[in-house]
């Protein structure tokens, strides 16, 4: 079943809000076996809504429309669909009564325009609105299925999950749902990863293999249609193993979690702790770690040593090191990590010092970053050359030091008991 | 000029990411006098992309396309537009050289697929990518204007603002542009602010007045069409004054800058410094401050004291205070702020301690947060009750302490010389 999502609302075209409804509905529709091929956004204009309906009917089997069901003059979705399908607009009495009661209970007068929310189309099914007043509509016209849902997400999601999903499923036969597994990687760039997997990607049929970048990390999405989760996993397993065989050292999770979550979980499971010493990242490493609920078990804290003096006084970086190598150096990164580990009494500590830009610092260009990981066995530092603007360099620096920490955690686990 | 935005990417149709590019471009296009009438999202499929191009060309004058310019096999936007317009694909040598240099400088091999990002179409203008590798394209075909931009927002926005806007404006004649001024507020919620301005909002004609919430702050966007910036400002001034007269004490900027930028600029202009002591915000205050270029002049650093022990050892919070009031208290917040001010030798210090959730801590429920501001004159603490999930509570806590700091900075300026 080919699905299309049409969001109606001029505020979307003005860029006042972002189209989260389309994202939500895409996830939901894919999960019940309806393939989403198009999103469309159109404004509160009858001519353009009608044209969008025509375009959708020509290319899609299921058209899910959100928005334009409210009480104001701009809300015309039902009228336009009635005109497009040649059906009548009728008043749905039970909905009208509950709208009237809502006002009566509060001692308010129901304004006429509110009654418009109780309209439905002839020969259509009613989709109740459990979180609002505007009733939804589902109908089939010339073989195409149409659903009209409210715009406000709180109302739309409940209506969709409770009433629209069963309605769609009863018309979709025994569709196979699309199952995806997302493999997450760090420490390798998107194009280098694709290059390692190029023959798999070029030769893909089922499952499909799609690399993409997200939030400073790289992901590979594997998708297949199957009648059940178990069968899907069986179909995906050989491909996962082929990929892991090649790039497993960068693979930190077989589900779509951020790197910091993998790090926190590993520390939790092994009962270890970590602290962070940050300069150019300005607190981002701490913020990423503490965004994970339960991180207080493993993250003791950190120091943002933005000035040379703070690096010396808060972390014990020696004045000699700063004088000889500068604050942006592997020597300083190592002393920052050792200092944080000492100060916070943790098993591990990470450190980042570098130039985020836009200008150079201490004669070093933006993207010059040194990171270090200190543990019981000692301390390692790494020199990075990162691309992008200030925020991207900071994000990549934070993810890089977490990647190195994760590598050390894995090596530590591998070494134990050998 | 009727504009349409086409976002290309299967990850959008699967609902893995939300279409923020369309929102951004809508705002930008409206601001330069191009009316956006449609958004379309289509997947990485040549046939459907071609069909979307045909639909767009029939109904729009300016088609802005994002996505599909990268190095992987899925990235086919340029190929499809070349086929649609009958133009050739050519290699843009300068871009190819800079991609090759990026890899050479790092001692890495440029993979073949990376060269694809340097392709352009014949008889087209090149839009440089200052934040990435894939070069953009602008061309006119049978009277319709086409722009191809990268998908990643950091690359797309810079390319659009620096190169696409002038290109569009040179082809858009003397359109009356839409001018907007954004007033930024902190320390007041969106609905409370709207209530203070309700008669202005209800009675608006020109300029339009639109309150909205963004990133833990509240904004009011005033918009009007005018032939020039000066005339627009004259039209907007009375409304700005009416609003400032009512809610001026929450108004921190008359341009769309984040609160942390206003704070950093004030500190820069007055030659003052600040440090931060953070617990539940985990580094977010430091990260917000250091996201502003030049913050190293004013932000000395901070401590993320995630454990009670760290609060004591790093910031000097007394064991007696922790035993008597707990780590989530105004007393602890004050000692954290005083400790940070001392440790980093700054004029000011801010502190945050609280419960971000999802669970309670020390018997206090999520959203219970204490913040403090320490300066030469002493220290003030504030008790907050914040709503939302973990990330929203952390963001609101960080913004709240920066708001209080900003208030103290203003008061300091007001007091001097009276």
Helix B308-315 / helix A330-344 crossing angle, nearest 10 deg? 120
Mutate to test the interface with A, among B282, B340, B360 (most CBs of A within 10 A): B282
Tokens coding A263: 């790090």
Cβ atoms A9, A43 nearer than 8 A: yes
Q: Which residue of A has its CA nearest to B155?
A: A388
Candidate from B55, B212, B283 with C-beta closest to A55: B55
Cβ atoms B393, B328 nearer than 8 A: no
Quickly count: other Cβ atoms within 10 Å of residue A316's Cβ.
Answer: 14
Q: Where are the beta strands (DSSP E) in A227-292?
A: 251-253, 274-278
Q: Which residue of B has its CA nearest to A281?
A: B287
Put simply, whether A400 touches B (Cβ < 8 Å) is no
Longest dimension (CA), chain A: 85
Query: What is the spatial distance between Cα B350 and Cα A167, in angstroms, rounded to a whole number?
Result: 55
Band the pLDDT of B33: cuts 50, 70, 90: confident
Put simply, whether B260 touches A (Cβ < 8 Å) is no
Residues 6+ apart with CB under 8 A from B414: none
User: Could you read off the pLDDT of A342-353 as tens digits, one per residue?
Assistant: 999 999 999 999
What is the CATH code for B177-253?
Answer: 3.30.70.2860
**Cis ω for the linkage preceding B32 (within 30 of 0):** no
Put simply, whether B303 touches A (Cβ < 8 Å) is yes
Residue B416 pLDDT > 60: no
More confident residue, B32 or A386: A386
Band the pLDDT of A415: cuts 50, 70, 90: very low
Query: What is the spatial distance between Cα B181 and Cα B367, in angstroms, rounded to a whole number?
Result: 33
Give pLDDT, residue A388. 84
Helix A77-85 / helix A46-59 crossing angle, nearest 10 deg? 50
Angle CA(B26)–CA(B27)–CA(B30) in degrees, nearest 5? 80
Give pLDDT, residue B370. 97
Q: What is the mean pLDDT of chain B?
A: 92
Strands A217-226 and A208-214: antiparallel
What are the angstrom distances between the C-alpha of A4 and each of A40, A242, B43, B294, B410?
8, 34, 12, 47, 52
Residue B415 pLDDT > 60: no
Give pLDDT, residue A418. 34
Q: A287 vs B284: CB contact, 8 Å cut-off?
A: yes
Pick the range with the lowest mean pLDDT from A75-89, A173-187, B241-255: A173-187
Q: What is the pTM of this model?
A: 0.75
A382: left (phi over 0), alpha (psi -120 to 50) or beta: beta
Tokens coding B46: 């040549």
Give pLDDT, residue A296. 93
Which CATH fold topology does B2-171 show? Molybdenum Cofactor Biosythetic Enzyme; Chain A (3.40.980)
How many Å lie between the alpha carbon of A123 and the closest alpha carbon of chain B? 30
Residues 6+ apart with CB under 8 A from B172: B1, B32, B33, B34
User: Could you read off the pLDDT of A248-276 as tens digits, one per residue?
Assistant: 999 999 998 999 999 999 999 999 999 99
Give pLDDT, residue B149. 98
Residues 6+ apart with CB under 8 A from B325: B331, B332
Put simply, whether B397 touches A (Cβ < 8 Å) is no
Give pLDDT, residue A177. 78
Longest dimension (CA), chain B: 78
Percent of chain A past pLDDT 90, that is, above it, reads 74
Helix, coil or strand: residue B126? strand
Q: Where are the beta strands (DSSP E) in A192-296?
A: 208-214, 217-226, 251-253, 274-278
Query: What is the spatial distance between Cα B371 and Cα A255, in angstroms, rounded to a whole number?
Result: 37
Number of helices and strands in chain A (H, E): 17, 17
Put simply, whether A38 touches B (Cβ < 8 Å) is yes
Per DSSP, the residues of A352-394 read EEE--SSS-BTTB-TTEEEEEEEETTEEEEEEEE--SSHHHHH
Q: A310 vs B301: CB contact, 8 Å cut-off?
A: yes
Give pLDDT, residue B238. 95
Tokens coding A39: 């999103």
Mutate to test the interface with B, among A10, A55, A189, A286 (most CBs of B within 10 A): A286
Q: Which residues of A touch B150 (CB under 8 A)?
A: none
Residues 6+ apart with CB under 8 A from B400: B186, B187, B369, B371, B382, B384, B386
Residue B227 pLDDT > 90: no
What are the angstrom distances between the C-alpha of B255 and each of B243, B258, B261?
14, 9, 11
Q: What is the mean pLDDT of chain A?
A: 92
Band the pLDDT of B414: cuts 50, 70, 90: low
Cβ atoms A355, A364 nearer than 8 A: yes
Is the domain B259-417 a CATH 3.90.950.20 member? Answer: yes
Give pLDDT, residue A32. 83
HSE of A142 in the Cβ direction (CA atoms, 13 Å)?
Answer: 10
Helix, coil or strand: residue A92? coil
**What is chain B's length?**
418
Q: Which whole number is the average pLDDT over B313-336?
A: 96
Band the pLDDT of A174: cuts 50, 70, 90: low
Cβ atoms A211, A220 nearer than 8 A: yes
Give pLDDT, residue B175. 66
Put simply, whether A153 touches B (Cβ < 8 Å) is no
Put simply, whether B161 touches A (Cβ < 8 Å) is no
| B215-B216-B220-B223 Cα dihedral, nearest 10 degrees | 0
Residue A416 pLDDT > 60: no
Q: Which residue of B has its CA nearest to A256?
A: B16
Residues 6+ apart with CB under 8 A from B230: none
Query: What is the spatial distance between Cα B98 and Cα B118, in angstroms, rounded to a whole number?
Result: 9
Give pLDDT, residue B223. 86
- Give per-residue burial for A392-412: e unless 16+ CB within 10 Å, then b: bbbbbbbbbbbbbbbbbbeeb
Residue A417 pLDDT > 50: no
User: Could you read off the pLDDT of A307-344 as tens digits, one per residue?
Assistant: 999 999 999 999 999 999 999 999 999 999 999 999 99
Query: What is the spatial distance between Cα B207 and Cα B197, in angstroms, rounded to a whole number?
Result: 14
| B399-A260-A282-B304 Cα dihedral, nearest 10 degrees | 70
Helix (H) or strand (E) run with residue B159 in it? helix B153-159
Q: Where are the alpha helices (DSSP H) in A248-346?
A: 259-270, 284-290, 308-315, 319-325, 330-344
Cβ atoms B95, B78 nearer than 8 A: no
Put simply, whether A43 touches B (Cβ < 8 Å) is yes
Per-domain boundaries in chain B: 2-171, 177-253, 259-417
Query: What is the spatial distance between Cα A180 and Cα A30, in angstroms, rounded to a whole number?
Result: 10
Cα distance from N-terminal residue to C-terminal residue, chain B: 54
Highest-confidence segment of B162-171, B195-204, B396-405: B396-405
User: Could you read off the pLDDT of A189-220 as tens digits, one per residue?
Assistant: 888 899 999 999 988 889 989 888 777 889 99
Q: Which whole number is the average pLDDT over B176-199?
A: 86
Tokens coding B69: 């310019």
Task: Write phi, then psi, for A30 (nearest 5 degrees).
Answer: -60, -40
Cβ atoms B14, B47 nearer than 8 A: no
DSSP B361: B
Put simply, whether A323 touches B (Cβ < 8 Å) is no
Helix, coil or strand: residue B216? coil
Tokens coding B225: 């069409």
Query: What is the spatial distance between Cα A49 and Cα A61, in angstroms, rounded to a whole number?
Result: 18
């Amino acid at each position: 079943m080919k699905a299309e999502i049409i969001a109606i609302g001029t505020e979307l075209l003005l860029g006042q809000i972002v189209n989260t409804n389309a994202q939500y509905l895409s996830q939901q529709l894919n999960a019940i076996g309806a393939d989403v091929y198009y999103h469309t956004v159109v404004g509160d204009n009858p001519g353009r809504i009608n044209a969008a309906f025509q375009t959708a009917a020509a290319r899609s089997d299921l058209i899910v429309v959100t928005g334009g069901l409210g009480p104001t003059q701009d809300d015309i979705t039902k009228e336009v669909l009635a005109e497009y399908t040649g059906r009548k607009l009728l008043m749905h009495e039970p909905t009208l009564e509950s709208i009237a009661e809502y006002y009566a209970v509060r001692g308010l007068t129901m304004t006429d325009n509110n009654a418009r929310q109780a309209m439905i189309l002839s020969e259509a099914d009613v989709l109740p609105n459990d979180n609002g007043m505007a009733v939804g509509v589902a109908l089939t016209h010339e073989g195409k299925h149409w659903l009209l849902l409210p715009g406000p997400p709180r109302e739309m999601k409940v209506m969709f999950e409770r009433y629209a999903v069963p309605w769609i499923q009863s018309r979709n036969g025994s569709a196979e749902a699309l199952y995806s597994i997302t493999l997450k990687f760090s420490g390798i760039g998107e194009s280098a990863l694709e290059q390692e997997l190029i023959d798999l990607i070029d030769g893909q049929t089922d499952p499909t293999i799609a690399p993409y970048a997200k939030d400073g990390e790289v992901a590979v999405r594997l998708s297949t249609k199957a009648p059940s989760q178990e069968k899907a996993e069986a179909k995906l397993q050989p491909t996962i193993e082929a990929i892991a065989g090649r790039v497993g050292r960068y693979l930190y999770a077989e589900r779509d979690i951020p790197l910091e979550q993998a790090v926190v979980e590993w520390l939790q499971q092994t009962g270890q702790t970590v602290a962070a010493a940050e300069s150019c990242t300005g607190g981002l490493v701490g913020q990423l770690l503490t965004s994970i609920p339960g991180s207080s078990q493993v993250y003791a804290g950190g120091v943002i040593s933005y000035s040379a003096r703070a690096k010396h006084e808060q972390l014990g970086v020696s004045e000699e090191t700063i004088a000889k190598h500068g604050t942006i150096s592997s020597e300083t990164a190592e002393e920052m990590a050792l200092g944080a580990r000492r100060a916070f009494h943790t098993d591990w500590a990470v450190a980042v010092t570098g130039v985020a830009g836009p200008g150079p610092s201490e004669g070093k260009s933006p993207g010059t970053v040194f990171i270090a990981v200190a543990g019981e066995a000692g301390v390692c530092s790494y020199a990075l050359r990162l691309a992008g603007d200030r925020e991207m360099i900071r994000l990549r620096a934070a993810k890089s030091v977490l990647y190195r920490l994760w590598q050390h955690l894995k090596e530590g686990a591998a070494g134990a008991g050998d």
